[in-house]
Structure 1
């Protein structure tokens, strides 16, 4: 961790801005970041699961920030959005990737049990990076044709405490009226969920 007062945010944002341009241009660095820190003053950066989007994207940020500023990002794999709010609130992270709806719930202390009546008032947004789309996938031979068909089935909703899990549960309840008691909820990252689906260990993810 670094002293927040010692961080020149203009330098960090210069690096993040460059990373954004690189990503938009389709040039994604060397792609072999492992989350370890390089030289310079280390900033703790919490991402998401290693097989999701947040972790590799964060390592692209790390490459640019390490090269373009006096800082180095220490990228940590985590359970993603809800977990990352807690990390920021506990002072375990300097920056983190969080879905904007989860950040809103945390800031206002509403909608989720983790935040209800306990707002994270010091939470601050730095930048919006990209829109996130929720995909619900099943096998062609599953017989599942609508969300209501997931009743009684095994469904991987994403890493426990991730924005993906929260959004999946919201969608299942609002569209199909299904709550976790109506299906067998499994929790893991994208890579494991894909393997489970392929092996027939879950019906949808």
Structure 2
């Protein structure tokens, strides 16, 4: 994982944006836009791809600069945000619900993540129950995918039992390689579809995506509003039919003290550059619409974001 750059602390960000947010002292020239570090995700994953597109859109706007960081995902991003080491974080909504940060707020709900449990087509694994006794990668240690996967396996009654799966934590690239070679039997991943690294694997290895919605009723009892039923479209990873799976909202998060001008600029980018923020090969659901952007349950909107959405949408 790339360590977050020294960058700007939250206090430095707030100082740099003080007053008008983008102006230097009276009588001086306009200061360059502030730079905000954004905790994203792994190389080859949806978080980092979205973060880079968002940074490009911010640069075009001229109102602020974003620096997307490679991380292990939601859990690490939330930890970095709590420690004031980054100004913005991408996170799964279920991971955000468990964040210890008391002033956690959202700038917007940006797209839907698809929980993907991927196996080799020739493995004989067709259901979650078939993972018993198999080696299963949950995801990177600091990822939201790993946290969600543990919940799914627990809901399926597969954890803490003698014949349960052998769980390991792997970065996506390593997990994809090990699935191809047979070193692991299944991998969990949460992201947009198609995920490039899994799509690349499907070009050389026949894959099957498992239906995870069999545990959705139990998950909803334990974690209301965190999960929905969705489907991975036909054709993704070579599948001939849609595959039912669990959907989880992805949120762009900050702390409530993030400068109002920066938040308003981010909202404008999410609205005005929505089409440019969708990867060209994306097949899944995007949330860059008025009704979806503001629906950030279980995290409240940053007050400046709520105000800017009202100004833009009435």
1:130-145 matches, cutoff 5 A: 130-145=111-126
Q: Which of the two has higher C-alpha Rg?
A: 2
Inter-partner Cα distance in structure 2 for 1:154 and 1:180: 15
Matched, 1:82 2:75: yes
- Match of 2:36, SS state, is strand
Taking structure 1 as the reference length, the TM-score comes to 0.73
Deviation at 1:4, TM superposition (A): 2.7
| 3-state secondary structure, aligned to 2:136 | strand
- Deviation, structure 1 residue 7: 3.8
Whether the 8 Å contact between 2:13 and 2:35 is mirrored in structure 1 is: no
Separation (CA, whole Å) in 1 of partners of 2:57 and 2:78: 24
The CA RMSD measured in Å over matched residues stands at 2.2
Counterpart selection for 2:146 from 161, 165, 179: 165
For residue 5 of structure 1, report the CA deviation from its aligned partner: 5.5
**Where does the alignment leave 5 or more consecutive residues of structure 2 unmatched?**
1-7, 23-31, 188-314
Q: Which residue of 2 aligns with 1:112?
A: none
Q: Please, which runs of 5 or more residues in structure 1 have no aligned partner? A: 13-38, 107-118
Please report how far the alpha carbon of residue 11 of structure 1 lies from its aligned counterpart in structure 2 after TM superposition. 8.9
1:198 counterpart = 2:201: no
More relative contact order, 1 or 2 (CA 8 Å, 6+ apart): 2
- The structure where strand makes up a greater share of residues is 2
Partners of 2:21 and 2:46 lie apart in 1 by 24
- TM-score norm. by structure 2 comes to 0.49
Report deviation, 1:85.
Answer: 0.7
In the alignment, structure 1 residue 95 sits paired with structure 2 residue 88:
yes
Higher deviation after alignment, 60-69 or 186-195: 186-195
CA contact (8 A) 2:16 2:34 kept: no
SS of the residue corresponding to residue 167 of structure 2 reads strand
